[in-house]
């Protein structure tokens, strides 16, 4: 009797290809809610790293940075400290970050709901909460609380950003803004306002008031949440 040939075992490459297709199918069927954070990262890594098993890379990234959002927002230099993460991977991550912020900004721009601030907080946390240095931005609003401009006014160190109140007011007048929302981040993660934060906010409010410009709020965002000076009755 002729001996039948032994079937060849599947190669690592074919197993990897099968895993990629199954993961893509799960995403298309159930969306992001049905996937773990590391699996969402795998979907991005698939494009940048075509043949390698990327699950270990995704898990290392999460272990190092903490969450999907923190991986996407991480500085390129720090991302590249992880083996096999190069320019292609960084590009994929930064495209996702830019797209998420653009979607949030355009949604917020239609109308700011100043009762809950939900859209404002979501946008500002996405833009700033995971930065490694302080950033100070201003949302300039019209009479109907529509967004005129969203501008970063300064970047600083891990615990300080220089803010010049008269420059803030000058820019508000240039844009014919009727109201402002101040926003900055605390890289420490704790959004509790400092004494300097409170003093600076009071100075801007005092300068703005006689000119008919209202300071709606000063939001502080961090990894561990956010603080509203209006809600804390500091304005």
Judging by DSSP bridges, how do beta strands 214-222 and 179-185 pair with one another? parallel
- Confidence tier at 161 by pLDDT (50, 70, 90): low
Tell me the mean pLDDT in the region 103-107: 73
Helix, strand, coil percentages for the chain (3-state, nearest 5): 50, 15, 35
Whole-number pLDDT of residue 116 = 54
Sheet holding 147-155, edge to edge: 147-155, 135-141, 179-185, 214-222, 225-228
3 state SS of 229: coil
Give pLDDT tens digits for 198-226: 999 999 999 999 999 999 999 999 888 89
Backbone angles phi, psi at 166, to 5 degrees: -65, -30
């Amino acid at each position: 009797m002729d001996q039948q040939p032994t079937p060849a075992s599947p190669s690592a490459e074919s197993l990897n290809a099968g895993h990629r297709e199954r993961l893509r199918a799960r995403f298309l069927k159930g969306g992001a809610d049905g996937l773990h954070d590391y699996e969402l990262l795998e979907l991005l890594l698939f494009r940048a790293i075509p043949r390698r098993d990327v699950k270990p890379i995704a898990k290392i990234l999460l272990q190092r940075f903490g969450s999907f959002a923190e991986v996407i927002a991480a500085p390129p230099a720090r991302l590249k400290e992880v083996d096999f993460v190069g320019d292609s991977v960084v590009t994929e991550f930064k495209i996702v970050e830019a797209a998420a912020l653009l979607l949030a900004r355009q949604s917020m721009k239609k109308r700011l709901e100043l009762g809950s601030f939900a859209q404002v907080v979501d946008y500002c946390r996405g833009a700033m909460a995971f930065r490694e240095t302080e950033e100070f931005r201003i949302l300039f609003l019209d009479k109907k609380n529509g967004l005129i401009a969203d501008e970063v006014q300064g970047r600083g160190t891990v615990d300080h950003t220089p803010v010049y109140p008269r420059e803030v007011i000058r820019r508000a007048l240039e844009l014919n803004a009727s109201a402002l929302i101040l926003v900055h981040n605390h890289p420490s993660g704790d959004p509790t306002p400092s004494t300097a934060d409170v003093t600076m906010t009071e100075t801007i409010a005092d300068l703005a008031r006689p000119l008919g410009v209202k300071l709606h709020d000063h939001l502080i965002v961090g990894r561990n949440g956010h603080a509203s000076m209006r809600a804390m009755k500091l304005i």
